[in-house]
Homo-oligomer: A and B are copies of this chain.
Amino acid sequence: MHRTVNRLAGAGKGIAFVPTMGFLHEGHLALMREAGSHANVVITSIFVNPTQFGPSEDFTAYPRDLDRDAALAESAGVDILFTPSADAMYGKDHETFVDLDALPNHLCGISRPGHFRGVVTVVSKLFNIVKPQVAVFGKKDYQQFVIIRRLVQDLNYDVRILGVPIVRDIDGVAMSSRNSYLSSEERESARSLFRGLQEAQQLVWNDTRDASILADHVSRLIHSHPHTKIDYVVLCHPETLEAIPRVEEETLMALAVHVGPTQLIDNTVLTSNRPSMELNAGLH
């Protein structure tokens, strides 16, 4: 890969990069299309990264389908697919890790110790391998997006990080490779996450600003659906991820919910004021 990317750089080609764990869906393809609008060459990695899975998590069960992924990536404009083995990425003497002190101590990082250390380490490695000018991440993994931006700033990577909005299926469920684990009944319950976020936004616009009231409302809504177990419903600052008691300005609402055995996450950035129609029209 170093030879390939150095050759591209020597030919004056810009590289945009989309790291993934494969089992691609429309959400990933949106990242790839976005990448294509920022550089001559789009490189996507497919690597189910062992260091970001905890011992009791679904590393071996994580869905994989490389042939299908390759066709989908090509259809979305990807030029180079990088699919290293775990042994190639982590030699037997591997002992170097990248980690953040504060941002992982929120949301999913609390129940997944070491998860973001694994994410940040593999993204650092991939940046050093692919040497992109632009890298594109989905905002469904919002905490990951914020952490990668911090990584790039703190370690001075010359990489522009772009975040792409969540892509939802027609029933409102956020696209995720892990949706393949859901039964049809669980899928029905999974719709409550987005419905909860939508209702929270309506409540804020109708002047319910108290974070605990909003979180409680969403928790009850989700909990009224079968097979759901709420891991967290949190309102927090969209940059620092620190908890926020009242929605006075843009506030991240982030959810993690077990639906059956599968953990799903979803989020939205709540705006404190209903967007004005005139203003929106003016922006087009």
Contacts and interface: CB of A to CB of B under 8 A. Distances in A.
A158 to B, nearest CB: 5
Contact of A128 (B9, B93, B155): B155
Given A2-B158, A128-B155, A158-B131, A101 B91 contact: no
A129 interface: yes
B120 A150 contact: no
A97 B95 contact: no
Interface string A1-15: 010001001101000
B150 A95 contact: yes
Contact of A98 (B91, B96, B131): B96
Given A2-B158, A153-B91, A156-B128, A120 B102 contact: no
Majority-rule SS of A interface residues: mixed
A95 to B, nearest CB: 4
A125 interface: yes
A205 interface: no
A105 to B, nearest CB: 10
Nearest to A88: B156
Given A96-B98, A98-B97, A98-B98, A128 B157 contact: yes
A158 B128 contact: yes
Chain A interface size, under 10 / 10 to 19 / 20 to 34 / 35 or more: 20 to 34
A205 to B, nearest CB: 31
Given A128-B155, A157-B128, A97 B99 contact: yes
A259 B63 CA distance: 61
Contacts of A128: 155-158
A155 B124 contact: yes
Interface in A77-127: 91, 93-103, 120-121, 124-125
Contact of A12 (B10, B91, B120): B10
A79 to B, nearest CB: 20
Given A97-B100, A128-B157, 6 more contacts: A95-B101, A95-B150, A95-B154, A97-B99, A124-B155, A129-B156
5 contacts: A96-B101, A97-B99, A125-B156, A128-B157, A129-B158
Closest 8 CB pairs of A and B: A96-B154, A95-B101, A128-B156, A2-B158, A129-B156, A125-B156, A95-B102, A95-B100
